[in-house]
Amino acid sequence: MTSPIIRVTNLTAGFADRIVLRDISFDVQRGEVFVIVGGSGSGKSTLLKQMIGLYRPQCGTICIEGEDIVAARGPKRLSILRKIGVSFQTGALFGSMSVLDNVRLPLEAHTDLPQQAIAMIARMKLQLVSLGDAADRMPAELSGGMRKRAAIARAMALDPLILFLDEPSAGLDPVLSAELDALLLNLSRMLHVTLVVVTHELDSIFTIADRVLMLDGATQTIAAEGPLLKLLAHANPQVRRFFAPNKEQM
């Protein structure tokens, strides 16, 4: 078995004297769709921000391809960050820039490619998410689903090995949510990119997840981890109820 693309070991994280995550460890395998779930306040977003290097943990390590992003500094840290792309819940597009310019931005900031090549790559990324015809539009002119796809295109601009997505289906109707799930699966299979997805949408979890990590806000630890079938039959009734609420009530 190949080594994991992400390895989190003995991670404790929080703010000031408030612990949110306590001594958690898990691996993410190369090429899988790894979904992080849990109730409100369980630490899903905190964990995501630790994994992408926005926050520093109180202790523990987060290794991407064997390199610890927590300990890395300077050019070494930048080289690790180049391996990841991030799509935030709101899309976080720059409203004063066209969709194309939003996708061009990482390429302009982190490569020495000529402008013609940058424009070509950015248009290719938009084509991948079916937004080729929206390249010259402004974010305010896009629907919610289109903004989500534009954010994914920007996150993929530098051909990351890992794509982190925070609540990608939030605010979308069931049809658009299903379309976005299909897009994520297609990108994962076509580009062989590893997906780490934070979501609370059960339909999306059942559609895209290879493995699921469930956080427990009460204990600040991992409640369950594994394939969905394993979690549906978990010994803890709270875990089973999360994934099959209607069945538990029968």
pLDDT digits (tens, 9 = 90+) for 171-228: 888 888 999 999 999 989 888 899 999 998 889 999 999 999 999 988 999 999 999 8
Mean pLDDT within 16-39:
92
- Min mean pLDDT across 89-93, 129-133, 154-158 is at 89-93
Asked if 63 and 10 count as a contact pair (C-beta separation under 8 A), the reply is no
Domain boundaries, the chain: 1-83+166-250, 91-159
Query: What contacts 10, CB < 8 A, 6 or more positions away?
Result: 23, 24, 25, 59, 60, 61
Percentage of the chain beyond pLDDT 90 is 58
Closest CA to 150 of 167, 162, 168, 173: 168
pLDDT of residue 91: 62
Q: Give 3-state DSSP helix, strand, coil % of the chain, rounded to 5.
A: 40, 25, 35
Rounded CA separation 213/96 (Å): 37
Whether 135 shows a pLDDT value over 60: the answer reads yes
Tokens 């070494």 locate to: 76
Domain 1-83+166-250 has CATH 3.40.50.300: yes
Under DSSP, the state recorded for 196 is E
pTM for the model stands at: 0.91
Whether 245 shows a pLDDT value over 80: the answer reads no
